[in-house]
């Protein structure tokens, strides 16, 4: 990705395209007919005079404006201008000083597009955002610079993980993901350890090994540590499912839209992003990110229905469907987090079930926790970041769905309440540690992008969690 020059100023320099924001109901700017523009959120009208293009972007009604409004409007403006070849853009935020962070974030998120491979670049007329100017009033300059810089870190990291996320299964195997994590962490105050098959075997990670066995691309466990807090404080553990491709294994999936299962690694990508951005933001916290990664393939050596697996802490799983693989690799990683790091809380992200998509669609991710403080913190962080979540239950009773006659649990239960039953399955490995499971199956990627984004990986969960961490997550 090309580097962006970000300027916080009181007036434009050079001749950028200018974005101004328009509150619905205000008097229309001269030259804009009411029939063409009403100021609805993300609606746009482009004015050209000889020296400059000005894009007016609606933000809707004044009393409905919140951080995500400016994130979306700024993003929609930038996306529009890039499509007409813009490369230098100025956002006029003089009347929206409290939303500098979200607007910068929206602009940078909107500037990302997956490049693809082997396409004729000369046919690409879409501009690349080279310079972004943020216009504020003189007395806002200092605060604006801090907010813009943090937003730049967060959005740039989100784009990095979206770019990893959009790589197909043949280009992003567990070993390649581990190499990317090492490379990205090396330039930061992070330490990374990677378990290969031998290490996984030695340390009893029976779940990650079983799921990875059907593939010639062997599994990995990636562990990233960040120590920005008080030395003796227990870390917060972040666990993310990174199945680089999910065919379903022996319980193979139907063919339709199976390509989308390249995004079955997005929980792990979110965790990677949280660690990278936390280091860049220098958050005063201790964090440990655990990313179990495997490719779920059928093959002569693949794990099979009926198999019994022993996980990292000795609990056993009766496999009844090899397509319910995410929970198996998560079991190992959650147990390892609990046993090795004694964390104050475990936050876990996974594209775990089709069931949560049936329940919530693509607007909100499912959040499962019995800790009400954590629940409220993430509901608030969702509103602030636009990465919306909704609380679904994880009552003990849901575990009855995965009771096994011959193992600690079985890996599938009844279809009814599938997302809740799956949540109760993974929670088993957290034992008494406060735990939040995010089922991001409906939000990790988009095929119907909103006005400020492109289709593909969204990075969902990363900005949400950074917001909650920055607000001082209370456990």
Could you confirm whether 327 is annotated as catalytic?
yes
CB of 135 to ligand BES, least distance (A): 41
**Candidates 182-190, 298-306, 309-317, 320-328; binding stretch for ligand BES (CB under 6 A):** 320-328
160 interacts with, out of Zn ion, ligand BES, none, CB within 5 to 8 A per kind:
none
Cα Rg of the chain, angstroms: 23
In whole angstroms, what separates CA 193 from the centre of its chain? 22
- Write out the H or E segment, with its range, that includes residue 254: none
Find the catalytic residue in 131, 253, 304, 375.
253
- 3 state SS of 153: helix
Contact segment (CB under 6 A) with ligand BES among 31-39, 77-85, 176-184, 352-360 equals 352-360
Q: CA-CA distance, 466 to 178, in Å (whole number)?
A: 22
Q: Is position 402 an interface residue for ligand BES (rule: CB under 6 A)?
A: no
Largest Cα separation within the chain, whole Å, is: 77
Min CB(123)–ligand BES separation in Å: 32
Which CB, 284 or 299, lies closer to ligand BES? 299
User: Near ligand BES by CB under 6 A, which window of 45-53, 71-79, 155-163, 317-325?
Assistant: 317-325
Q: Answer whether 410's CB lies under 8 Å from 318's CB.
A: yes
* CB nearer to Zn ion: pick between 296 and 369: 296
Exactly one of 72, 162, 262, 327 is catalytic; name it.
327
Residue 401: count other Cβ atoms within 10 Å of its Cβ. 20
Secondary structure of 70-123 in HEC code, one letter for each residue: HHHHHHHHHHHHHHCCCCEEEEECCCCHHHHHHHHHHHHHHCCCCCCCCCCHHH
Residue 464: contacted member of ligand BES, Zn ion, none (CB under 5 to 8 Å, by partner type) = none
Q: Hey, what long-range contacts does 393-398 have (CB within 8 A, 24 or more apart)?
A: 393/368, 393/420, 394/368, 394/369, 394/370, 394/420, 394/423, 394/424, 394/427, 394/437, 395/420, 395/424, 396/424, 398/423, 398/424
List 163, 318, 323, 332, residue binding ligand BES (CB under 6 A): 323
- 321 touches ligand BES (CB under 6 A): yes
Q: Can you tell me which of 351, 369, 443, 458 binds ligand BES, judged by CB under 6 A?
A: 351
The residue range among 141-149, 267-275, 318-326, 341-349 that interacts with ligand BES, by the rule CB under 6 A, is: 318-326
Q: Please state whether 112 falls in left (phi above 0), alpha (psi between -120 and 50) or beta.
A: beta
Residue 324, interface with ligand BES (CB under 6 A)?
yes
What residue 353 binds from ligand BES, Zn ion, none (CB within 5 to 8 A, per partner kind)? ligand BES
**Which of positions 411-470 make contact with ligand BES (CB under 6 A)?**
412, 441
Inter-residue contact 270 to 461 (CB < 8 Å)? yes
Per-residue contact string for residues 355-394; x = within reach of ligand BES by CB under 6 A: x-x-------------------------------------
**Quick one: which segment of 79-87, 172-180, 316-324, 460-468 binds ligand BES (CB under 6 A)?**
316-324
For residue 272, give the H/E element and its range. helix 266-281
Whether residue 352 contacts residue 422, with contact meaning beta carbons closer than 8 Å, is answered with yes
DSSP 252: P
Candidate list 68, 246, 280, 332; residue touching ligand BES; CB under 6 A: 246
| Nearer Cβ to Zn ion (44/458) | 458
Among 88, 150, 280, 325, binds ligand BES (CB under 6 A): 325
441 makes contact, choosing from ligand BES, Zn ion, none, with CB < 5 to 8 Å by partner type, with ligand BES
Q: Does 298 bind ligand BES (CB under 6 A)?
A: no
Which residue carries 């949560």 as its tokens?
356
* Residues 131, 16 contacting (CB under 8 angstroms): yes
Question: Which residues would be at the binding site for Zn ion (CB under 5 A)?
Answer: 243, 246, 264, 323, 325-326
For the chain, what's the residue count? 475
Q: Is 56 buried (19+), middle (13-18) or exposed (0-12) by CB count in 10 A?
A: buried
Binding status of residue 270 toward ligand BES by CB under 6 A: no
Residue (281 or 352) nearer to ligand BES, CB: 352
The one among 156, 173, 353, 465 contacting ligand BES by CB under 6 A: 353
User: What whole-number distance in Å separates Cα of residue 58 and Cα of residue 69?
Assistant: 10
- Catalytic, 220? Answer no
> In the bound complex, what is the minimum distance in angstroms from residue 301's beta carbon to ligand BES?
20
**Parallel/antiparallel/unpaired status of strands 345-350 and 316-318:** unpaired
Residues in touch with ligand BES (CB under 6 A):
246, 264, 321, 323-326, 351-355, 357, 412, 441
Catalytic residue numbers?
Answer: 253, 327
């Amino acid at each position: 990705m090309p580097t962006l020059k970000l300027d916080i100023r009181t007036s434009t320099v050079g001749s950028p395209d200018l974005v101004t924001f328009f509150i619905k109901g205000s008097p229309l700017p001269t030259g804009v007919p009411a029939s063409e523009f009403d100021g609805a959120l993300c609606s746009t009208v482009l004015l050209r005079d000889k020296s400059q293009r000005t894009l007016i972007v609606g933000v809707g009604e004044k009393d409905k404006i919140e951080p995500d409004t400016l994130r979306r409007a700024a993003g929609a403006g930038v996306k529009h201008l890039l499509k007409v070849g813009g490369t230098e853009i100025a956002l006029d935020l003089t009347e929206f000083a409290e939303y500098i962070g979200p607007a910068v974030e929206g602009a940078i998120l909107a500037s990302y597009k997956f490049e693809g491979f082997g396409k004729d670049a000369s046919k690409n007329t879409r501009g690349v955002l080279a310079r972004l100017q943020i216009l504020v009033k003189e007395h806002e300059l200092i605060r604006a610079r801090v907010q813009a810089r943090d937003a730049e870190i967060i959005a740039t990291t989100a784009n990095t993980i979206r770019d990893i996320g959009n790589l197909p299964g043949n280009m992003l195997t567990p070993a390649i993901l581990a190499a990317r994590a090492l490379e990205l962490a090396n330039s930061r105050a992070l330490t990374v350890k990677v378990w290969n098959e031998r290490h996984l075997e030695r340390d009893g990670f029976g779940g990650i090994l079983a799921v990875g066995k059907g593939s010639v691309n062997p599994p990995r466990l990636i562990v990233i540590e960040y120590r920005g807090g008080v030395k003796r404080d227990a870390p917060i553990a972040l666990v993310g499912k990174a199945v680089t491709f999910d065919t379903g294994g022996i319980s193979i999936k139907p063919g339709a839209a199976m390509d989308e299962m390249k995004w079955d690694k997005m929980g792990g990508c979110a965790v990677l992003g949280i660690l990278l951005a936390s280091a860049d933001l220098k958050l005063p916290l201790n964090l440990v990110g655990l990313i179990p990664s495997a490719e779920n393939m059928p093959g002569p050596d693949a794990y099979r229905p009926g198999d019994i697996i022993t996980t990292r802490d000795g609990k056993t799983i009766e496999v009844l469907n090899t397509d319910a693989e995410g929970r198996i690799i998560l079991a190992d990683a959650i147990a390892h987090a609990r046993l090795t790091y004694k964390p104050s809380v475990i936050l876990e992200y996974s594209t775990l079930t089709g069931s949560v998509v049936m329940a919530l669609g693509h607007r909100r991710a499912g959040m499962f926790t019995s800790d009400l403080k954590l629940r409220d913190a993430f509901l608030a962080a969702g509103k602030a970041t636009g990465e919306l979540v909704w609380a679904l239950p994880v009552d003990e009773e849901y575990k009855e769905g995965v009771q096994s006659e011959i193992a600690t649990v079985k890996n599938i239960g009844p279809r009814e309440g599938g997302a809740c039953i799956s949540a109760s399955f993974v929670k088993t490995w957290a034992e008494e540690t406060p735990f939040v499971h995010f089922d991001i199956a409906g939000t990790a990627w988009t095929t119907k992008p909103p006005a400020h984004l492109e289709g593909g990986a969204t990075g969902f969960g990363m900005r949400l969690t950074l917001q909650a961490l920055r607000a001082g997550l209370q456990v």
